[in-house]
Amino acid sequence: MTNQKEEVVEEVEEVELEKLEEQEETTTQEEMIEEVVEVDELTLVQQELEEEKNKSIRLRADFENYKRRVQLDKEADYKYRAQTVLTDILPVLDNFERALAIQTNSEEAASLAKGVEMVYRSLLDAVAKEGLETIESEGVPFDPNFHQAVMQEKDESKESGIVLQELQKGYKLKDRILRPSMVKVNE
């Protein structure tokens, strides 16, 4: 009997030992799961932080680009500030040129023409200070960026594509074309 008791005690101890081992395994597994969850949460938080850093960098770069564009727009506005006024003055310059092209027969008309020419010269000086320039046309090759061909004519003494006559002056403001020259081009 003693032997049997000892066997029963041993079996109970073994069962208890197994239960303890199972509990330890379960506890260890739970701890591992908790650690994995903690690691996953940490990784998630790190990823979110990295994303926020990237957003911040992109936002900063966008703002710098915006500031640069605004600065360029300001410079362009300043550079071409007189464009609308000069565009409105172009017909006035044309009228002055037409008035000066008229031949005068009397002394009074010549005096009046001289006065008109003085006003025209002072107006040209004023607009030149703002950056208005005439586009040279006669005798140069036709350039669609600066010229508008309204007529063609055949002249054997000149090359093809050369501007033969300027019908209306063209003007540019610094590097921007306000009005192209109307020209007659050699075929």
Q: pLDDT tens across 127-141, in order?
A: 999 999 999 999 899
Burial class for 135, CB neighbours closer than 10 Å (0-12, 13-18, 19+) = buried
What is the per-residue pLDDT for 2? Answer: 61
Q: Where a domain ends, among 18, 53, 79?
A: 79
CA geometry: angle at 147 spanning 157 and 162, to 5°? 10
Q: What count of Cα atoms within 13 Å lies in the side-chain half-sphere of residue 72?
A: 6
Tokens of 90: 């172009």
In this structure, the answer to whether residues 174 and 100 fall within a common structural domain is yes
In a shared domain, residues 42 and 90: no
Within a 13 Å sphere around the CA of 151, how many CA atoms are in the beta-carbon half? 12
Domain with residue 177: its CATH number is 2.30.22.10
For the whole model, what pTM was predicted? 0.63
**What token pair was written down for 131?**
């950056």
Question: Is residue 108 located within the same domain as residue 63?
Answer: no
Domain boundary among 61, 79, 97: 79
Do 75 and 147 belong to one domain? no
Residues 174 and 81: beta-carbon distance below 8 Å: no
Tokens of 137: 């046309």
Domain count, the chain: 2
Q: The domain containing residue 22 runs over which residues?
A: 1-79
At a CB cut-off of 8 Å and minimum separation 6, what does 102 contact? 113
Does 147 share its domain with 107?
A: yes
User: How does DSSP classify residue 180?
Assistant: P
Same domain, 167 and 84: yes
- For residues 12 and 73, state if they share a domain: yes
In the listed set 50, 79, 108, which residue is the last one of a domain according to the structure?
79
For residue 65 the two structure tokens come to 């680009």
pLDDT beneath 70, residues of the chain: 1-5, 8-9, 12, 20, 24-39
Contact call for residues 80 and 176 (beta carbons, < 8 A): yes
Edge-first strand order for the sheet with 170-173 is 132-135, 170-173, 176-179
One domain, residues 73 and 88: no
For residues 9 and 75, membership in a common domain is answered with yes
Sign of the alpha-carbon dihedral angle for 147, 153, 158, 161: positive
Which pLDDT score is estimated for 28?
Answer: 61
* Same domain flag for 108 and 170: yes
- If asked whether residues 154 and 107 sit together in one domain, one would say yes
* 173 burial type by CB count under 10 A (0-12 exposed, 13-18 middle, 19+ buried): buried
Q: Alpha carbon of 24 to those of 21, 29, 57, 150: distances in Å?
A: 5, 8, 48, 99
pLDDT tens per residue across span 140-154: 999 999 999 999 988
Same domain, 132 and 50: no
Instruction: Give the angle 9-15-19 at the CA atoms, nearest 5°.
Output: 140
